[in-house]
Amino acid sequence: VALIHYPVLSKNGEVIASAVTNLDLHDIARTARTYGVKGFFVVTPLADQQILAGRILAHWTAGEGARYNPKRGEALALIDIQANFSDVCRAIEDREACRPQVVATSARIAAGTVSYPRLRDMVARGDPYVLAFGTAWGLAEDFIEAADHVLDPIGGQRDYNHLAVRSAAAIVLDRLVGNQNRLSFESGT
Amino acid sequence: VALIHYPVLSKNGEVIASAVTNLDLHDIARTARTYGVKGFFVVTPLADQQILAGRILAHWTAGEGARYNPKRGEALALIDIQANFSDVCRAIEDREACRPQVVATSARIAAGTVSYPRLRDMVARGDPYVLAFGTAWGLAEDFIEAADHVLDPIGGQRDYNHLAVRSAAAIVLDRLVGNQNRLSFESGT
């Protein structure tokens, strides 16, 4: 999983670098750990934001927080702070000996998006995938166009589709790599 | 949906009243609005916490926030602050002319819990249900025992099951009232 702070859209549709949000790191790390995700990349080109993310990480994995709540540190230990998305792909390639396929997520309805069952089957084959989530008002169009796949929006045709990125990441991971409860759910029994 | 701040468990297993977290209100309201939930009850017996929740609500539904981001106000307008859970059930009964069935959520594995497909079928019949989520370390045992149903834990038998309540609410609503994407997912096509 990669949480992208650049290039993302502002409320007015401009491409910006967004600020790191403490609870994005906590919530998505806990979800990633629960669903067996191998790494959680926090991507920001801004040096001060890298330092902020690094401090949060150190507090919970080595500092006071690690003693107070070791389960939290176990989740946050999945975090890897990177300056840009190419470095994320390179880090995964180093680890997996294979370039990951990039899956962009978006709340917008578009042609050619991949469905959840299809991507679930693809992911189950074991090749590395990186799921990219945009902060602020979502991933920039150039990022989405460069991805290998774009996932169907969560809300489909719903009239309101403004989930927090923390909630979106939880729902997407549950749909793609959900557990036994889900499997019994899928078969409709 | 009801977000319970009392009675919930502390880290050490004591029954406490927890503090209201700003992002719980935002994230769960946005998820509730996305999934067509009729009301989001924030339950706290503490007067100062009721005032805090009321201020957040007013900012986004009537104040500066409503002008800055009307979509956020549309979600937060679902919030109804209540001092205790009996008042939540009474408010739903007044609205629906029928007492709601109470569904408690828990991360603990227990006997007699209801599965997601079963509860999904029950909810689809149209009778009122209230889904209760615990803050802090989860709902107190007495609350769970008094509920009509207890939902299966999200993580099943996983070795790590420490989701944020914001993430848990998103996953549970997606499993229970998820959309077309989910329906095609369920049938495995």
Q: Please report the DSSP string for B144-172 in residue order.
A: HHHSSEEBPPTTTT-S-----HHHHHHHH
Contact flag B152-A33 (C-beta cutoff 8 Å): no
ipTM of model: 0.93
Q: Is A38 helix (H, G, I), strand (E, B) or coil?
A: coil
Sign of the CA dihedral running B51, B57, B62, B67 = positive
Is residue B7 reached through a cis peptide bond, with omega within 30 degrees of 0 on the bond before it? yes
Query: Alpha-carbon distance A125 to B66, whole Å?
Result: 46
A27 contact residues in B (CB cutoff 8 A): 164, 166-167
* Contacts by A49-54, CB closer than 8 A, 24 or more apart: A49/A5, A49/A17, A49/A19, A49/A20, A50/A81, A50/A83, A52/A20, A53/A20, A53/A25, A53/A79, A53/A81, A54/A81
B189 contact residues in A (CB cutoff 8 A): 117
- Residues linked to residue B30 through DSSP beta bridges, in sequence order: none
Answer yes or no: are the C-beta atoms of B162 and A71 closer than 8 Å.
yes
Token couple for B4:
């319970």
Q: Kindly state the percentage of chain A with pLDDT values over 70.
A: 93
- What pLDDT shows up at residue B109? 86
Amino acid identity at B166 = R
Task: Give the best residue of B25, B60, B71, B171 to mutate against chain A (max A CB count within 10 A).
Answer: B171
Helices (H), A19-177: 22-34, 47-61, 64-68, 70-76, 85-96, 116-124, 141-146, 165-177
Shortest distance between the Cα of A168 and any Cα of chain B, in A, equals 8
B156 contact residues in A (CB cutoff 8 A): 179-181
Burial tier of B165 (Cβ tally within 10 Å: 0-12, 13-18, 19+)? buried
Mean pLDDT, range A36-62, rounded to an integer: 96
Mean pLDDT, range B149-170, rounded to an integer: 90
Instruction: Give the chain B residue whose CA is nearest to the CA of A161.
Output: B34
Q: Kindly state the percentage of chain B with pLDDT values over 90.
A: 87
Contact flag A163-B69 (C-beta cutoff 8 Å): no
Q: Which of B38, B84, B90, B82 is nearest to B57 (CA)?
A: B82
pLDDT tens per residue across span A100-130: 999 999 998 888 999 999 999 999 999 999 9
- Other C-beta atoms within 10 Å of A45: how many? 14
Answer yes or no: are the C-beta atoms of A163 and B34 closer than 8 Å.
yes
Q: Please say if the pLDDT value at position B183 is more than 50.
A: no
Q: What is the pTM of this model?
A: 0.94
Q: Please say if the pLDDT value at position A187 is more than 90.
A: no
Shortest distance between the Cα of B167 and any Cα of chain A, in A, equals 5
Rounded to the nearest integer, the mean pLDDT of chain B is 92
Q: Please say if the pLDDT value at position A189 is more than 70.
A: no
Shortest distance between the Cα of A78 and any Cα of chain B, in A, equals 13
Indicate the range of A75-89, A148-162, B19-33, B44-58 predicted with least confidence. Answer: A148-162
Q: Is B189 helix (H, G, I), strand (E, B) or coil?
A: coil
Q: Which of A112, A124, A110, A105 is nearest to A166 (CA)?
A: A105
Query: Alpha-carbon distance A76 to A166, whole Å?
Result: 14
The H or E element spanning position B124 is: helix B116-124
Answer yes or no: are the C-beta atoms of A134 and A4 closer than 8 Å.
yes
A33 contact residues in B (CB cutoff 8 A): 160, 162
Q: Please say if the pLDDT value at position B76 is more than 70.
A: yes
Query: Which residues have a Cβ under 8 Å from the Cβ of B155 and sit 6 or more positions away?
Result: A34, A179, B107, B161, B163
Contact flag B179-A156 (C-beta cutoff 8 Å): yes
Instruction: Give the chain A residue whose CA is nearest to the CA of B189.
Output: A117
pLDDT tens per residue across span A63-98: 899 999 999 999 999 999 999 999 999 999 999 999
Query: Alpha-carbon distance A61 to A72, whole Å?
Result: 8
Answer yes or no: are the C-beta atoms of B103 and B132 closer than 8 Å.
yes
Contact flag A167-B33 (C-beta cutoff 8 Å): no
